[in-house]
Amino acid sequence: MRILVVEDDPDLSRQLKTSLSDAGYAVDHAADGEEGHYLGENEPYDAVVLDLGLPKMDGVSVLEQWRRGGITTPVLILTARGAWSEKVSGFDAGADDYLTKPFHTEELLARLRALLRRAAGHSAPALSCGALRLDPRAARASVNGEPLRLTSLEYRLLHYLMMHQGRVISRTELVEHLYDQDFDRDSNTIEVFVGRLRKKIGQDRIETVRGLGYRLAPLHGEATEA
């Protein structure tokens, strides 16, 4: 899953980037409203953290323009303490959730997990697919209760596949949702990561759909997601 952070405070930006990466997300950052607007319009993020007080273009205008342009990405806005009217204009512009500064990183992460799972149509906090289980709260995955040792990219790949299990996902889509914009994006490397992940979770769990991409599904005889 890939997150965009639009925040002009350098310290807070750095802190957000670190905590989001540690939690297993690919993270892009924009330090002003114009850059943030551009990125949100051109890259398919899974969620956005948007500060409202921004240089060049304020957060509410950024959000209004995204929504007018048909961008449905879940957006969590960051508002200043006591500015209740900011929350109102933020929600009216199309925000899905908000946090008032200062906030605890844990709360931001929990709110993002909720936004991401609602956007993908899940209600349970942990994901399962047959004997596979992934818990975004701990950034951990297991098969039959046995913990998997995954690199951060393997975890991100499995998270995305589990969020969209049963659907065929193209290599391009995976590249767009697993890597941040600074990453050297080569869709051939996806094949390598899928190969490594298969070795860890079982060869048959990720099906290759020729010419189209990959699909994660429970094995025959395994229960589907409750």
Task: List residues near Ca ion by CB under 5 A.
Answer: 8, 51, 53
CB of 81 to Ca ion, least distance (A): 12
User: Which residue, 24 or 59, has its beta carbon nearer to Ca ion?
Assistant: 59
Query: In the complex, what is the shortest distance from the CB of residue 54 to Ca ion, in angstroms, rounded to a whole number?
Result: 6
Specify the residue, 20 or 78, whose C-beta has the smaller distance to Ca ion: 78
For the bound state, the minimum distance from the C-beta of residue 170 to Ca ion, rounded and expressed in Å, comes to: 36
Which amino acid would we find at residue 160? Y
DSSP summary character for residue 153: H
Tokens matching residue 63 = 């959000």
Cα distances (Å, whole numbers) of residue 6 to 26, 83, 110, 192: 14, 19, 18, 32
Which CB atom, from 66 or from 155, has the smaller least distance to Ca ion? 66
Nearest distance from residue 8's CB to Ca ion, in Å? Answer: 5
Nearer to Ca ion, 27 or 54 (CB): 54
Q: What distance in Å separates the CA atoms of residue 36 and residue 45, rounded to the nearest whole number?
A: 12
Q: Toward Ca ion, which CB reaches closer, 77 or 178?
A: 77
Q: Among all residues, whose Cβ is closest to Ca ion?
A: 53
In whole angstroms, the minimum distance from the beta carbon of 80 to Ca ion comes to: 8
Task: Return the ∠ at Cα 145 (arms to 141 and 146), rounded to 5°.
Answer: 75
Residue 53 or 218 having the CB closest to Ca ion: 53
Q: List phi, psi (to 5°) of 134.
A: -135, 130
> What is the nearest approach in angstroms of Ca ion to the Cβ of residue 53?
4
The answer to whether 134 touches 165, Cβ cutoff 8 Å, is no
**Residue spans of alpha helices (H) in the chain:** 10-22, 33-42, 59-68, 84-93, 105-119, 152-163, 171-178, 187-201
Phi first, then psi: give them for residue 201, nearest 5 degrees.
Answer: -105, -5
